[in-house]
């Protein structure tokens, strides 16, 4: 039995019409996702979708030599597994848990069945996919045109928006893998933010102590993505 209103911790589930949600509730399974856990590998057919509650999943493109770069993050605002209801079934990206926590898991065939009813579920998922595509496109632009300092600010703010607190458990090596840069570059960028009094960093623990300061430093990419998510997914009456 689901906890009262627990599903509302995920933005998409919280926006569903009551009758649609009622059809899904019996099949939603609460699962704990651990740091580094793989939810999907490149080319692998997904069998389930995941609705994060307090965790973050990173979508990564991986090269033949093993190098990787993050193309998007998914948290309580979204769902992991859009390829299932978009008809592609597989994706060339990986889905790796960036911040551990809890999510609801649902069999892909059940989500597709509800999606193809062409009700509010379908409109909601298409809106979410548009927002996710915006994040992917803006990430590509940011990685090409903006400094690592600004990229790190963007990454920190996107993570904060999807977490209940101000602390992230993430080593500099993992951040470097996410951003597709050298670890030394992340060390230098994080050091600048720490000296500016915006964050503290110690043994894989990053604490943001001045969010407004990060927002003043970040490039426009963060704002573009946030505005699009807010525009498409904030109000129930748009569904």
Domain spans, the chain? 6-121, 147-218
CATH number attached to the domain at 6-121: 2.60.120.10
Handedness of CA 113, 114, 119, 120 (dihedral sign): negative
User: Is the per-residue pLDDT at 61 higher than 90?
Assistant: no
Cα-based distances in Å from 146 to 135, 176, 195, 221: 15, 15, 21, 9
| Structure confidence at residue 1 (pLDDT) | 44
- Residues 36/145/212/195 CA torsion (nearest 10 deg): 80
User: Is the per-residue pLDDT at 238 higher than 70?
Assistant: no
Average pLDDT in the 60-80 region? Answer: 88
User: Is the per-residue pLDDT at 156 higher than 50?
Assistant: yes
- Residues facing 167 on adjacent strands: 207
The rounded percent of the chain whose pLDDT value lies above 90 is 47
User: What is the fold of 147-218?
Assistant: Arc Repressor Mutant, subunit A (1.10.10)
């Amino acid at each position: 039995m689901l906890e009262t209103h627990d599903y509302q911790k995920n933005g998409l589930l919280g926006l569903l019409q009551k009758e649609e949600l009622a059809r899904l509730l019996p099949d939603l399974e609460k699962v704990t996702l651990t740091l580094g856990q793989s939810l999907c590998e490149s080319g692998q057919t997904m069998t389930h979708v995941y609705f994060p509650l307090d965790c973050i999943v990173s979508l990564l493109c991986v090269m033949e030599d093993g190098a990787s770069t993050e193309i998007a993050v998914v948290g309580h605002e979204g769902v992991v597994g859009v390829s299932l209801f978009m008809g592609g079934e597989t994706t060339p990206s990986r889905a790796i848990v960036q911040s551990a926590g809890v999510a609801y898991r649902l069999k892909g065939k059940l989500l597709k069945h509800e999606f193809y009813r062409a009700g509010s579920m379908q409109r909601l998922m298409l809106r979410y996919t548009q927002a996710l595509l915006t994040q992917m496109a803006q990430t590509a632009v940011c990685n090409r045109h903006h400094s690592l300092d600004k990229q790190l600010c963007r990454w920190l703010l996107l993570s904060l928006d999807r977490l209940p607190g101000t602390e992230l458990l993430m080593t500099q090596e993992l951040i470097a893998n996410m951003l597709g840069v050298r670890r030394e570059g992340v060390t230098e960028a994080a050091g600048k933010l720490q000296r500016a009094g915006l964050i503290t960093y110690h043994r894989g623990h990053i604490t943001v102590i001045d969010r407004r300061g990060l927002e003043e430093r970040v490039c426009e990419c963060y704002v573009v993505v946030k505005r699009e998510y807010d525009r498409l997914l904030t109000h129930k009456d748009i569904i």
